[in-house]
Amino acid sequence: MSRLLIGGSWVDGESVDELTEKYRGTTYGQMQVASPEQVDAAVAGALEGISASKLTPYQRYKILLATARLVEERREHLISLLRDEAGFTRADGENEVSRCIQTLELSADEARRLNGNLVPMLSAANASDRMGFTIHAPRGVICAITPFNSPLNTLAHKVAPALAGGNAVLIKPSSYTPLCAVELCKALLDAGLPSGLLALVHGPGGRIGRQLLADQRIAYYAFTGSTQVGREIQQAAGLRGTQLELGSIASTIVCDDADFTRAIPKILNAGFRKAGQVCTSVQRLLVQRNILDDFVPLLIAAVEALKVGDPSDPETIIGPMISQAHAERAQNWVEEAVAGGARILTGGKREGSIVQPTVLTDVQESMKVYCEEIFAPVLSVIPFDTDDEAVERANASPYGLAAGLFTSNLHRALRMSQAMRFGGVHVNEASSARVDAMPFGGVKDSGFGREGPAYAIREMTEERLITISY
């Protein structure tokens, strides 16, 4: 049962939604839906919690570290839950839990070392007998709105740095994956976090999200999701702080001097893990024309060797998408592309919520599979001739979250990566390469602000100047 956490207590909502397992469609749980009054009470409770909190940075460190240990102890339960809620395979679930643990540990470290700077006051005229320094103070209530495709680690990337910085957090998770949020909250509370510093509400984003945006008591919004919703959040937030990790059409470039044995496994993982439902999944695979005949057959053979189907089978690499409707939409886009002249090199079929890993070629720039985020296990092979052409095609998108580049030439790597307008460019890695300690975020329509505990904690606190005359 996915209950609400309001004012330090677990409570029922105004109604109940059934939760269905993503592969077989059977019911595995329920979600309590919050009323408008309960959402209001959740914000009020978080405000009271932050007002009453006396936690020191060391205590916050200890709580987050203890939470990481509890998540590790509950690993098997969480992997099972991720399979039911998100359709994750064993490998995807293991990775999600391991990264959540790492994010909690990194955030714990940041709680201890969050510090300001000494201001060189004496470097200015008429500033003798005066000193100045900065500190990082909590903002207040941080609202975390999170997606279904990383229901544990993305949530940890918002909640843990916020708590490390001394804030209270109100969580609105995806209605597809509410139980993972419940489990993370339970771990935090069991680790000793004062219950008033955490609130959790479930329900439709259109109603609850808008109510949260209208509530001026919330100081900061951390959101991962679509660019359309991100724009709404930014407009509603006004002068309040936001961290927005939004849409993407990720490109990975394979140059003619690339190491195929290194590139292909990384491209497969980046294109098809979590059934391609990752904002940095490879969607445009730019391959230099003079290696197409050698590279593409190896890629197709590797794709066709991937096991697809039941996520409870430990051998399965690609499981179901989050819903049959999402899978049908992806299939429709592929069919539209084929009708417009694209060719399917492998895949292209769907069974229920399972979409076979699909590789297309001969795609046109006007096709949805090229110019819109497909968020499915579908990638398009796009030939290029020159480095400048590859960079230009990768940059030709309203989005700019992450990109990959495979080459064995350091000069080429540095020249191309510096010309690519993305939040992150990964050389000899695919577009979805990520270490949780690094700054993660985009440019252009992919949003702004950075995840990564060391970076997020500074965005989730206010830098305050203190001067002293003596």
What amino acid positions are annotated as catalytic residues? Answer: 245, 279
Place of tokens 């400048």: 388
Check: CB of residue 457 under 8 Å from CB of residue 107: yes
CA–CA dist 42, 44 (Å, integer): 5
Q: Is the alpha carbon torsion for 430, 433, 439, 441 positive or negative?
A: positive
Q: Which residues of 363-386 are buried (b: 16+ CB within 10 A; e: fewer)?
A: beeebbbbeebbbbbbbbbbbbee
Q: Is the alpha carbon torsion for 299, 301, 303, 306 positive or negative?
A: negative
Distances (CA, A) of 114 to 156, 367, 414, 433: 18, 47, 33, 27
Q: Which residues pair with 276 in a beta bridge?
A: none
274: Cα within 13 Å, side-chain hemisphere:
22
CA–CA dist 285, 295 (Å, integer): 12
Q: Under the phi-then-psi rule, with left for phi > 0, alpha for psi from -120 to 50, and beta for the rest, what region is 454?
A: alpha
* Closest by Cα among 5, 28, 101, 17 to 311: 28
Hey, what are 279's tokens? 């904002």
CA–CA dist 165, 394 (Å, integer): 37
- DSSP H helical ranges for 400-442: 410-419
Hey, what are 338's tokens? 């084929």
Q: Which residues pair with 380 in a beta bridge?
A: 284, 360
Place of tokens 């998770």: 173
- What count of residues does the chain have? 470
CA–CA dist 247, 354 (Å, integer): 23
Hey, what are 48's tokens? 């009271």
Q: Which residues pair with 134 in a beta bridge?
A: 465
Q: Which residues pair with 338 in a beta bridge?
A: none
